[in-house]
Amino acid sequence: MLSMARIFSFFRALTSKVTLPRSAARPIPRMSRIRQANGDDYPESAAENLADALSLLAANRTDGAAYLSGYVVECALKSLVVVAAGNPLNFGHNLNRLSREALNLAALPGSKTARYIPRLNPGPSIIDAPPNGWRETLRYREAGAVTALTATSWLAEAQAVFASTIIPLRIDGLI
């Protein structure tokens, strides 16, 4: 089995920034095939948030790591919904509802996303409804509101979701 570091390294190589000629001032990021008209690019955002969450956890910034882990899962689930339904629908930041919708769409006959079901933790999970699971309002909590154990668990789950959705969707050319 590949380590998460190798999987993430492979994905980053697939999505590396293309550098313009020296006359240009900045690189152009690679965009996914499901980039939304408003500029939202869920697969690319998932990759960026995962890299940032890993860095924050390594620096013992557990609140930030946990917060961004939720966005990794959200963006992965929205990617599945877009591939299956053509749009992200309107689930906001509700991971529990997004997860249910992604699973419902994957279960439909002829679904394009059935083989990309995200791997979630048995028992307590990042997608559990608040107050136990992730919520976007964590950014307003005091430092230390998320324990190191919870942050580590959520980040591991975000990595598993990313590895079971975004990477194979990219490899298979769906995003």
Domains (range + CATH), the chain:
39-171 (1.20.120.330)
Look at 18-22, 32-36, 91-95, 110-114 and tell me which has the smallest mean pLDDT: 18-22
Contact between 35 and 43 under an 8 Å Cβ cutoff? The reply is: no
Question: Taking the complete model, does pTM exceed 0.95, yes or no?
Answer: no
* Contact predicate 125/40, CB 8 Å: no
pLDDT more than 90, % of the chain: 42
pLDDT mean over 139-143: 85
Which of 38, 50, 56 has its CA nearest to residue 74?
Answer: 50
In this structure, what are the phi and psi dihedrals at residue 42, rounded to the nearest 5 degrees? -60, -45
Instruction: Give percent above pLDDT 70 in the chain.
Output: 79
Instruction: Quote the Cα angle for 80-100-76, to 5°.
Output: 30
| Least confident span in 8-12, 114-118, 161-165 | 8-12
Distance of CA 60 to the CA centre of its chain: 21
**DSSP 8-state class, residue 26:** S
Asked if 57 contacts 65 with a C-beta cutoff of 8 angstroms, the reply is yes
| 37-46, 62-71, 90-99: least confident range | 90-99
Rounded-to-integer distance, Cα 161 and Cα 165, Å = 6
Q: Which pLDDT score, from 0 to 100, does residue 13 have?
A: 56
Residues 99-133 have pLDDT tens digits of: 888 888 999 998 999 999 887 777 678 888 767 78
Q: Are 80 and 118 in contact (CB under 8 A)?
A: yes
Confidence category of residue 25, pLDDT binned at 50, 70, 90: very low
Is residue 51 over pLDDT 90? yes
Pick from 85, 75, 56: which is nearest to 134 by CA?
75
